[in-house]
């Protein structure tokens, strides 16, 4: 069996996802760059390769069943198995016109955000679990947010985005329960407030800093935590 470990990062063409791909590549992973736009994906792959990283592109729109199935087939053809899945792709959703004020909530925005941030994660995870099952120490990391913490309630009121991350946390716990007697470790990560397109580059942390917790959870030892929610400082309350 090939000893090179393969990691798929969704939404890896920019921001935190790109930094996760960079970080995993730098420690020896072969990185599958999951991205929906052909040009942005190939540019990211080229940037990673220029840094000496073993990267390949995988066309992936997490909202499309067909795209996700084709992505799993492409990874099977290229790598034969998957060692790490980082479900990083996420959207904030529109906020104009009170679209995410709970009292004027635009339900189409809720549907759109859930489709990517929650259903997308389930769709990708379930398509890749057979390939993860072929790895010796499979790891799944779901990129969440402390805005989804019901205890902390960080940031502005965003009644589509924040609950999408609360649900993602809950789904993470469900996977961990279901996979408790397997070697698949599933955890959720919060990157902190990071300067990316997502935040209009207002975040106080770099993408590399935001990526660090995902990389740590992607490389946990076999006796590492399951079904937890972590940031760089440790456990994040649900
Ligand atoms: P960016 O907006 O910079 O990047 C988001 C990535 O997700 C892009 O690559 C984007 O692709 C991709 N994406 C969006 N929708 C889809 C889709 N349907 N299929 C495939 N890829 C998709 O955001 P960040 O890097 O900041 O965020 C990454 C993750 O971290 C998100 O889940 C976010 O919720 C989370 N997070 C970020 C925080 C921050 O402060 N930045 C704080 C807490 C959590 P494309 O370029 O094609 O749009």
Mean pLDDT by 10 residues, the chain (238 residues): 90 98 98 98 98 98 98 98 98 98 98 98 98 98 98 96 98 98 98 96 97 98 98 98
Could you give the residue numbers annotated as active site? 161, 165
Distance CA 146, CA 209 (A): 15
Ligand 1 center to 181 CA (angstroms):
31
The sheet with strand 84-87 has its strands ordered as 55-59, 30-35, 6-10, 84-87, 139-143, 185-189, 229-231, 234-235
For residue 60 and ligand 1, the question of a CB distance below 6 A is answered with: yes
Structure tokens at 147: 């805005």
**Separation of 19 CA from ligand 1 center, angstroms?**
12
Ligand 1 contacts CB of residue 143 (under 6 A): yes
Task: Tell whether ligand 1 has an atom less than 6 A from the beta carbon of residue 62.
Answer: yes
Distance of CA 1 to the CA centre of its chain: 27
Distance 1 CA to ligand 1 centre (A): 33
CB 122 within 8 A of CB 142: no
Q: Which helix (H) or strand (E) holds 31?
A: strand 30-35
At 48, list the tokens. Answer: 């990673």
pTM, two decimal places:
0.98
143 C-alpha to center of ligand 1: Å? 9
Which of 90, 153, 195 has most ligand 1 atoms within 8 Å of CB, for mutation?
Answer: 90
Region of residue 87 (left: phi > 0; alpha: psi -120 to 50; beta: else): beta
pLDDT at position 24:
98
Under DSSP, the state recorded for 155 is S
Element (H, E) at 101: none
Atom of ligand 1 nearest to the CA of 193: 40
**pLDDT the model gives residue 1:** 54
DSSP character at residue 98: G
CA 117-33-137 angle, 5° bins:
80
The structure tokens listed for 121 are 């994660």
Which one-letter DSSP state was computed for residue 237? Answer: P
**Any atom of ligand 1 within 6 Å of the Cβ of 13:** yes
pLDDT recorded at residue 189: 98
Which residues neighbour 73 within 8 Å (Cβ) at sequence distance 6 or greater?
none
Report the nearest atom of ligand 1 relative to the CA of 63: 18
Cβ(35)–Cβ(114) below 8 Å: no
Ligand 1: which residue has its CA nearest to atom 16?
A: 89
Phi, psi of 214 (to 5 degrees): -65, -40
Backbone angles phi, psi at 17, to 5 degrees: -60, -40
CA of 31 to the centre of ligand 1 (A): 17
């Amino acid at each position: 069996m090939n000893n090179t470990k393969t990691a798929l990062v969704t939404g890896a063409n920019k921001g935190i996802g790109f930094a996760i791909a960079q970080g995993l590549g730098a420690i020896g992973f072969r990185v599958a760059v999951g991205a929906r736009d052909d040009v942005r994906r190939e540019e990211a792959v080229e940037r990673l390769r220029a840094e000496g990283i073993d990267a390949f592109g995988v066309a992936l729109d997490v909202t499309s069943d067909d795209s996700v199935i084709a992505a799993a087939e492409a990874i099977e053809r290229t790598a034969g198995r998957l060692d790490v899945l980082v479900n990083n792709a996420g959207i904030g959703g529109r906020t104009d016109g009170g679209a995410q004020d709970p009292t004027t909530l635009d339900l189409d925005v809720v549907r759109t955000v859930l489709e990517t941030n929650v259903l997308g994660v389930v769709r990708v995870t379930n398509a890749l679990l057979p390939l993860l099952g072929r790895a010796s120490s499979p790891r799944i990391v779901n990129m969440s947010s402390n805005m989804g913490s019901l205890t902390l309630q960080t940031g502005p009121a965003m009644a589509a985005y924040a609950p999408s991350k609360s649900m993602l946390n809950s789904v993470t716990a469900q996977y961990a329960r279901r996979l408790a007697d397997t070697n698949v470790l599933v955890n959720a990560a919060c990157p902190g407030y990071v300067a990316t397109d997502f935040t209009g580059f207002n975040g106080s942390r770099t993408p590399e800093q935001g990526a660090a917790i995902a990389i740590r959870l992607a490389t946990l030892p076999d006796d590492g935590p399951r079904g937890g929610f972590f940031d760089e400082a440790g456990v994040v309350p649900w």
